[in-house]
Chains A and B, each alone.
Chain A
């Protein structure tokens, strides 16, 4: 069973629209991390949720937002899409609850294309 399930796999939107990406961690993992991987820019940290709370946020504008649900799944919303938002969005989980090592387990990602 995969540790992290992301949906959709691919998403095509036009400028100005909104995109919603979803992440479901395997049971027992309460931390969810979001990263943006744009071409040539490596992984840029977006958001970190743990136990339903936002723990850390990267240097992204407010139109990038998210939340974590009681079952620890998470949603990333990107409003007012711009062309440069085209990227692979990766969700990752940390270790089991209470185990803080920085080790991340990634999903396959959601490829967002903005036209």
Chain B
């Protein structure tokens, strides 16, 4: 069965600093991978996705993620964080067919001045 681990529950970064949020997945083959962002009281918005091909994918709001098969990871990065990036971030995996999309438990990002 597929699973997703986000080891960091809460991360605090200074505005302008770089950011990396970790995501590890468990699945036998290469799954479809996603990062979503959720602002307080809102639904989830897709930041970026990886299906195949180039392992570095670009998303909205200046985010990027790198798929590393050898490490079963799909970490999210941003070179310079803005205060508006404060939100909760979810990594998700999908293995195809009628399998559910499985989400990690989320990482809450706090941005300080």
Q: Chain A interface (Cβ within 8 Å of chain B)?
A: 4, 33, 35, 41-43, 45, 48, 55-56, 58, 90, 92, 100-109, 111
Instruction: Provide the residues of chain A in CB contact with B45, threshold 8 Å.
Output: 106
Output the nearest chain B residue to A104 by Cβ-Cβ distance.
Answer: B101
- Knowing A42-B105, A42-B106, A45-B102, the reply to whether A100 touches B44 (Cβ < 8 A) is no
Instruction: Provide the residues of chain A in CB contact with B104, threshold 8 Å.
Output: 42
Q: Which 4 A-B residue pairs are closest in the complex by CB-CB distance?
A: A102-B94, A106-B43, A42-B105, A43-B103
- In the complex the two chains form, what is the Cα distance from A79 to B104 in whole Å? 27
SS class, residues of chain A in contact with chain B: strand
Query: Distance (Å) between the CB of B87 and the closest chain A CB?
Result: 14
- In the complex the two chains form, what is the Cα distance from A83 to B44 in whole Å? 24
Within 8 A of A (CB), among B46-91: 46, 49, 51, 90
- A102 & B43 in contact (Cβ 8 Å cutoff): no
Instruction: Provide the residues of chain B in CB contact with A48, threshold 8 Å.
Output: 98, 100
Output the nearest chain B residue to A43 by Cβ-Cβ distance.
Answer: B103
- A102 & B105 in contact (Cβ 8 Å cutoff): no
Question: Which of B34, B42, B100, B102 contacts A103, CB < 8 Å?
Answer: B34
- In the complex the two chains form, what is the Cα distance from A43 to B101 in whole Å? 10
- A108 & B103 in contact (Cβ 8 Å cutoff): no
List 13 additional A-B contacts (Cβ < 8 Å) besides A45-B101, A104-B34, A106-B36: A45-B102, A48-B100, A58-B100, A90-B43, A92-B43, A92-B44, A102-B92, A102-B96, A103-B34, A104-B44, A106-B44, A106-B45, A109-B42
- In the complex the two chains form, what is the Cα distance from A104 to B49 in whole Å? 11
Instruction: Provide the residues of chain B in CB contact with A4, threshold 8 Å.
Output: 43
Question: Could you list 30 examples of A-B contacts with CB < 8 Å?
Answer: A33-B101, A42-B103, A42-B104, A43-B44, A43-B90, A43-B106, A45-B101, A45-B103, A48-B100, A55-B98, A56-B99, A58-B100, A101-B49, A101-B51, A101-B94, A102-B32, A102-B94, A102-B96, A102-B101, A103-B32, A104-B34, A104-B44, A104-B92, A105-B46, A106-B43, A106-B44, A106-B45, A108-B43, A109-B42, A109-B43
- In the complex the two chains form, what is the Cα distance from A41 to B46 in whole Å? 20
